[in-house]
């Protein structure tokens, strides 16, 4: 396990608290950032989960930007900007890297995927042979449904020995596609890739070779069966008639 940690692309991230002048200003005012010290990542897959607005996407974005990815998503070679809204948190963290460098990587975020797809079209039009699109399934992602575009990207662009930072990848995927994504993640993990994923999906979170960090007032590593996502979903499905009655009375 020790050698595996040394070979992973991102080992941990640390908040440089001494550089923060005011914890009452965003994003440092978020409870999770106020209490953040260090997050250690699994060599294969790390999930970050929590309620809307808890700061999981903010943390994920800061890691991606600090590592060199475009704030709106894409590979390290993407440098477009349509709306400069990312926080300054990346300037206040330190990423501890392993000895290996990834062959490739991708920062995937649901909210700006349309902009990434547009940039892919533009880069393809600038390619002399129009071969750039082959890495994305050979057809414009705009000519697919949102879910199919997501899945085409993951199946065609993602490769082994690479780093993938995914922000709510389940947003466009059906439950069946989410299960297919687990299989694809496992294939890539076995080829040496590392994933850091912010998610609400109890399906994705079931992937066994992983850490799960749950955000409340602070961030704690939890077991799958102890996570809120799992327990709320299980309780709803096991007692859905009663739950619907309570929610709609």
Lowest mean pLDDT, pick from 18-32, 62-76, 170-184: 62-76
Q: What is the pLDDT of residue 155?
A: 85
Q: Which residues are within 8 A (CB) of 94 and not within 5 positions of it... i.e. 6 or more apart?
A: 13, 14, 16
Specify whether domain 2-111+159-248 bears CATH 3.40.50.300. Answer: yes
Does 120 have pLDDT greater than 90? no
Q: Residue ranges of the domains in the chain?
A: 2-111+159-248
Model pTM? Answer: 0.86
What single-letter DSSP state applies at residue 136? G
CB-CB contact of 59 with 32 (8 Å): yes
Cα-flanking dihedrals φ and ψ of residue 11, to 5°? Answer: -90, -40
Residue percentage of the chain with pLDDT more than 90 = 57
Give the full edge-to-edge strand order of the sheet including 10-15.
38-40, 10-15, 93-97
- Residue 156: the pLDDT is 83
Q: What is the pLDDT of residues 48-107, one digit of tens each?
A: 999 988 889 899 999 999 998 888 777 776 665 555 556 789 999 999 999 989 999 999
Query: Minimum mean pLDDT among 74-88, 130-144, 217-231: which range?
Result: 130-144
Q: What is the pLDDT of residues 228-244, one digit of tens each?
A: 999 999 999 999 999 99
Q: Give the integer Cα–Cα distance in Å for 217 and 244.
A: 29
In whole angstroms, what is the distance from residue 53 CA to residue 60 CA? 13
């Amino acid at each position: 396990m020790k050698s595996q940690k040394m070979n992973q692309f991102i080992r941990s991230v640390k908040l440089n608290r001494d550089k923060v002048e005011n914890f009452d200003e965003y994003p440092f005012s978020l409870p999770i950032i106020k209490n953040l010290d260090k997050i250690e990542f699994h060599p294969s897959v790390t999930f970050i989960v929590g309620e809307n607005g808890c700061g999981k996407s903010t943390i994920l974005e800061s890691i991606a930007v600090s590592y060199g990815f475009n704030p709106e998503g894409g590979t390290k070679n993407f440098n477009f900007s349509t709306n400069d809204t990312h926080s300054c948190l990346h300037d206040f963290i330190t990423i501890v890297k392993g000895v290996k460098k990834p062959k490739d990587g991708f920062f995937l975020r649901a909210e700006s995927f349309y902009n990434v797809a547009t940039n892919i079209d533009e880069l393809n039009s600038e390619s002399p042979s129009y071969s750039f699109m082959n890495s994305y399934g050979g057809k414009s992602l705009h000519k697919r449904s949102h879910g199919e575009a997501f899945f085409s990207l993951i199946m065609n662009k993602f490769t082994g020995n690479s780093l993938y930072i995914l922000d709510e990848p389940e947003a466009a995927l059906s439950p069946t596609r989410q299960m297919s994504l687990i299989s694809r993640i496992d294939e890539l993990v076995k080829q040496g890739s590392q994933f850091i994923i912010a998610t609400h999906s109890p399906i994705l979170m079931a992937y066994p070779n992983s850490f799960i960090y749950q955000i409340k007032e602070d961030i704690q590593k939890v077991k799958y069966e102890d996570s809120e996502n799992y327990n709320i979903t299980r309780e709803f499905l096991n007692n859905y008639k009663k739950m619907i009655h309570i929610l709609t009375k």
